[in-house]
Structure 1
Amino acid sequence: MDRKDGKESPAGDAWIRPKRFDRNLVVIGAGSAGLVSAYIAAAAKAKVTLVEANKMGGDCLNFGCVPSKALIKSAKIAHQIRHADRYGLEAPEPKVSFSAVMERIHAVIARIEPHDSVERYAGLGVEVLRGYARLVDPWTVEITLKDGGVQRLTTRAIVIATGAKPFVPEIPGLAEIGYLTSDTMWERLRDRAKVPRRMVVLGGGPIGCELAQSFARLGSEVTQIEMASRLLLREDEDAATLVEASLKSDGVTVLTNHKAVACGRGEGESWIDVDHAGTIRRIAFDEIVVAVGRTPRLKGFGLEEVGIKVDRVVETNEYLQTLHPNILAAGDVAGPYQLTHVAGHQAWFAAINALFGDLKRFKTDYSVIPWATFTDPEVARVGLSEAEAREKKIPYEVTRFALDDLDRAIADGADRGFVKVLTQPGRDKILGVTIVGEQAGDLIAEFVLAMKHGHGLGKILGTIHIYPTLAEANKMVAGQWRRNHLNGFLLSLLERFQTWRRG
């Protein structure tokens, strides 16, 4: 089998391919991509081994999606109590037991853990080994087991699914004062009776915004520092502006165009210096969270030793194959999206191509990729943003529907936000959708389905939506598109016809 550039793999020149194999597939990493890859291989009756050095479930279960969403829910309840007067109720200041909040987070993780456990996957037919995997050659994996033993397995194919870790910038003094990341904060803060009084959050992306808002709602004095001109750079400015306003209303001090230049400790407290247009400002804090992005785990797996290029990610082709076609990568380590659901999506292609690629290969499909930032209001998107459409010079029309005109949103006091749809000029074909508002991450699913199957706004308009629900916003924006494209000549004819009918 050839590489993506059509040249023969050099594997045969450097290593001897085994005549027989111990396994059909070895998967390195038990996060979303690894678990799904192993599951599919076992379902296809392949002999598969899954290797994990840390916790089953990977970042999403243990450090990312699950604990952060549990934190967000507790913070939202505290916010609702604090503002209960908006609903005709008394509004006391919530009494936050931070240790109880953290224990709930760990209880949520524990409840979901069995879905990703060794026992479950063993029951599905997957051999799970706890240890560190390293490629010896394109068909051999050496596993240093947690108990100290070493095992070597030959395999027809390998899936690299080693995930990512928080990126920590080189800020003078940061390492010395100590910092939190999304990987460490859940254990480091677990036994705290009270929420940190003063917190700095470095980063204005989805993780930074979610954590800044949540800790502010639980009672921290939060300062969020972002070196760019605004938050949520991947989203359109109108969406980011609403989120920033919400964070500020929750008490977050948002400092955009501020670059962290140094950290230190003096007079009994930690501090960070930030540079804004040449002026240095010092901010004291009790805890600092670094949330400036994540970087793939690439080192220590023997990738470079077998000639696989690793820069920001593992280099793969459109089939997720590396230089060696029997070695594939999926999830955060492969890019281009660091999203749990995309990792699972890639895993299907990686597993199928690994097991059956010499018979038929499937190109990875990134045509319809949704994502959401779970701030309050949430921001969800699928397809093009306005900024991307302009950058790519793709012609488009914009149709908007504001949630302050939706009955259910008004009744719920959740009328901040909008639905914005980009369509082809003069047609109802959907190019992209941005939703800002309550449950935006759920509401976007209807548009994802429509785009996946080529349905336009007319199909959404012709679908019955339950009244009163937030989902009606999707139908409302489709109705707005229809009103914007009414045929004036036909309307004039209809008016004349109805006048004639009256006699």
Structure 2
Amino acid sequence: MAHRRLLLLLVLAAIVAVYFLSGADEALTLANLQAEQARFQAWLADEPVTVVGGFFLLYVLMAALSLPGAAVMTVLGGALFGLGWGLLIISFASTLGATLAALIARTLARAPLEKRFAGQLERINAGIRREGAFYLFTLRLIPLFPFFVINLVMGLTRMRLWTFYWVSQLGMLPGTAVYVNAGRELGNLQSLSDVLSPGLIGSFVMIGLFPWLARGLVAIAKRRRLARRFRRPTRFDYDILVIGGGSAGLVASYIAAAVKARVALVERDRLGGDCLNTGCVPSKALIRASRVAEEIRRANRYGIDTGEPRIDFGAVMAHVQRAIREVEPHDSRERYEGLGVEVFAGEARLQDPWRVRVTSGAGERVLTARHVIIASGARPKVPPLPGLERIDVLTSDNLWQLEMLPERLVVLGGGPIGCELGQSFARLGSHVSLVEMGPQLLPREDSDAAELLRHCMEKEGVSLWLDTRAVRVIEEVDAEGGHVLEVESHQASGEVEVHRLPFDRLLVAVGRQANVAGMGLEALGVETREDGTLAVDESLQSVLPNVWACGDVAGPFQLTHASAHQAWHATVNALFGEFKRFRVSYRALPAVTYTEPEVARVGLSEREARARGIDFEVTRYELAELDRAIAEGQTEGFVKVLTVPDRDRILGASVVGQGAGELLAEFTLAMTHGIGLNKLLGTVHPYPSWSEAAKATAGIWKNAHKPERLLSWLERYFAWRRGGGSAAAATEEMRRKDA
């Protein structure tokens, strides 16, 4: 197959070379064609089949090979054949040539590109399957758009060639008609710019506006198709109905209410969702308490002798609950009702795309809304581990009801939740064993960040079992009244060793799964992805045009700030999508694991860049060089920035160390607004501060890209000045230095 592709490429290159070397590109000018118009007309009268056939084949060849001159050929076709026959001939010739161009691109490049960029192309192809025909149609309607680019790009997708053909045939027809019509007045035209006469400008304006009209017509058609399946209400109770009162749902409700839309929010449990009640807030309160305990243990390095801290676990958990209560008013029913949101407690189920049945202890009621936003969140995933059903398993949901510190805690999962909670419990006095199936902690991060965290956690007494698979919970109770987890550990030699890990409590932290059941989505045809999240497009719209999703239920990131980011897009697109759609971007989405050291990243990691085949440079700065880190005795960690080779454009940044999440904000700001390392270097930072690490990293990058030739000339200039202006003295000084 590779040999055939190479042969085809050589043949195409030869044809293109002949085209340009023969001067055909220079011959296809309006002046030349005007001069030869009379001869063409006489030839057409004598041999119509030859002229029409030759013109048709030449046009097909030019379009297939993306050669310049198609616009002139279209105008010429109108001059030669008139509007009717010219439109007929050129319409079919241009479409056939475009389809051949797509086929050539597909044959030459699709297979290697799909192999290299499988993930990205799969997302594109998913969009093509949903609305590829309409998208191609709108692109074809604009005659000034470079059609050859459309041909090549669409050829790389999985769009069927027949679909590509007929959509192109229809979509290019209006633009072709404009140019063919202009060709009828070829004798009066002095340049192609004359095509834009007042009448034709109006035509182009209408053609430019037609995609928006077509999009509106398609939206109407979708709504009518829905209306045929379901009875659409004649009026609505609400503009937006949000299902789920977690981070995403609250932000969506807030935004909709802020623009004076009428909003209903349905929550079956507690407002605030996981973040407030079982996630971000309680976990950070627990992390802070455990960090204080560890600081007390290490106080002697600052000359302060305190001894081993005494942990009152009940008081620690009281601190956690107090933090939840103090944040709770920010997410309370009273606050959101004060903002204009109508809050309903109960289970929500979609009867159809516009009607939601809310069931509560007070009964049932049906609410109608023009748009529904699903923000139902996710819950901890519990694996089908034999024996697990016989014990009381801990998850990030029920962990906060613990009253006694587990003496022996086994944590399943080495992701952010497992690492944060495992380290915290170890610092509070538990004997923690952490089991991770992969070869490193934090599988999404680079190995250098994971290795530093591994070293710190092991130094604090956490027993790490990497490359280890949990097999089963053994029924027997060990000598101390606990249970036993059997695991298989994969050794570097390839051998598998079986171990038994005793525990009093088992914490499962192997990921989360979207809450999609029980809302009637499946019956309405709303699809889910392989990972269980709802299938939505880049604007967060589902297959139903008025049903949207955001937050954990939509994926791919289960982060509170990602949920808020998505909620803005889902709400704005729902309310104003008829006028403007916003595609959600995760390019500058930060993520932080709140262990010690913290692990923070925005943009690409080295691992991701290599997997995507993206070239990059790495600039690294060790926190051991930072004066503030030295003064505080917190020198473990680094800053690592990925940039485009030889360009001041940040692709990603990783920070590992004290306060990494705070330091990351500077790089997130830079990526969001297109600021490079030069601008960070030119920004004054307070001394001594942790933020100076960002400036120091930028300084290392700048030093690696300094203008060597200019500096060499400056060195000679200063040597010349030191020598009293004598060139000979400067040259002699440089010679001595080189020697």
TM-score (norm 2): 0.66
The aligned counterpart of 1:323 is: 543
2:388 to 171, 174, 177: 174
| 1:319 shift after superposition | 1.0
Q: Distance in 1 between matches of 2:709 and 2:631?
A: 39
SS in 1 for 2:592: strand
Partner of residue 17 from structure 1, selected from 207, 214, 232 = 232
Tell me, yes or no, if structure 1 residue 204 matches structure 2 residue 414: yes
Equivalences for 1:296-375 in 2 at 5 Å?
Answer: 296-311=514-529, 312-375=532-595
Write the mapping of 1:63-212 to structure 2, written as runs, cut at 5 A: 63-145=278-360, 147-187=361-401, 189=402, 191-192=403-404, 195-212=405-422
**Paired residue for 2:720?**
500
Q: Corresponding residue for 2:508?
A: 290
Is the aligned partner of 1:273 residue 2:486?
A: yes
Choose the corresponding residue for 2:458, options 237, 242, 248: 248
Q: CA deviation at 1:3?
A: 6.2
Tell me which amino acid in the other structure corresponds to 2:393: Y
Task: Select 1:230's aligned residue among 440, 443, 452.
Answer: 440
Amino acid at match of 1:276: S
Tell me, which stretches of 5 or more residues in structure 1 are unaligned? none
Q: TM-score, normalised by structure 1?
A: 0.97
Amino acid in structure 1 at the alignment position of 2:293: A
CA distance in 2, matches of 1:309, 1:143: 22
Of Structure 1 and Structure 2, the greater strand share is in 1
Q: 2:3 aligns to what? A: none
Q: Aligned residues, how many?
A: 497
Name which of structure 1's ranges 228-237 and 360-369 shifts more when overlaid on structure 2.
Answer: 360-369
Task: Report the Cα distance in structure 2 between the residues aligned to 1:305 and 1:358, rounded to whole angstroms.
Answer: 27
Work out whether residues 198 and 220 of structure 1, in 8 Å CA contact, stay in contact via their aligned partners in 2: yes
Partner Cα separation in structure 1 for residue 527 and residue 651 of structure 2: 34
1:432 aligns with 2:652: yes
For 1:408 and 1:254, how far apart are their aligned partners in 2? Answer: 31
Contact conserved, 1:114 with 1:120, CA < 8 A, in 2?
yes
- Which among 582, 591, 604 is matched to residue 384 of structure 1? 604
The 3-state SS of whatever aligns with 1:152 is: strand
Residue 487 of structure 1, CA deviation: 2.0
Larger helix proportion of the pair: 2
Q: Which position in structure 1 is the counterpart of 2:103?
A: none
Which amino acid is the alignment partner of residue 384 of structure 1?
A: L
Q: Does 385-394 or 8-17 show the bigger shift?
A: 8-17
**1:7-59 Cα shifts (integer Å, max 9, x gaps):** 86442231011110111111000011100000011111111110000111000
Aligned to 2:635: 415
CA drift at 1:266: 2.1
In structure 2, what residue type is equivalent to 1:297? N
* Root mean square deviation of aligned Cα: 1.3
Distance in 1 (CA, whole Å) between partners of 2:228 and 2:539 is: 23
Residues in 2 aligned to 1:318 and 1:489: alpha-carbon distance in whole angstroms: 47
Distance 1:77 1:448 in 2: 29
Q: Of the two structures, which has the highest relative contact order with CA contacts closer than 8 Å and spacing of 6 or more? A: 1
Q: 2:703 aligns with which of 465, 480, 483?
A: 483
Distance 2:274 2:501 in 1: 30
Q: Which amino acid aligns with 2:527?
A: K
Q: Deviations over 1:276-326 (max 9, x none)?
A: 233221111111100000111010011111110123211111111111111
Contact 1:4 1:317 in 2 (8 A): no
Larger radius of gyration: 2
Which residue identity does 1:260 align to in structure 2? A
Q: Does 1:30 align with 2:245?
A: yes
- Paired amino acid for 1:275: E
Deviation at 1:488, TM superposition (A): 1.9
Runs of 5+ unmatched residues, structure 2: 1-128, 135-217, 491-495, 725-739
1:66-111 C-alpha deviation (Å, 9 max, x unpaired):
1111111000000010111111110410000000000000000000
2:438 matched to 1:218?
Answer: no
Q: 1:52 aligns with which of 250, 267, 271?
A: 267
Quote the Cα distance in structure 1 between the aligned partners of 2:316 and 2:534.
38
Q: Is contact 1:205–1:233 with CA below 8 Å preserved after alignment? A: yes
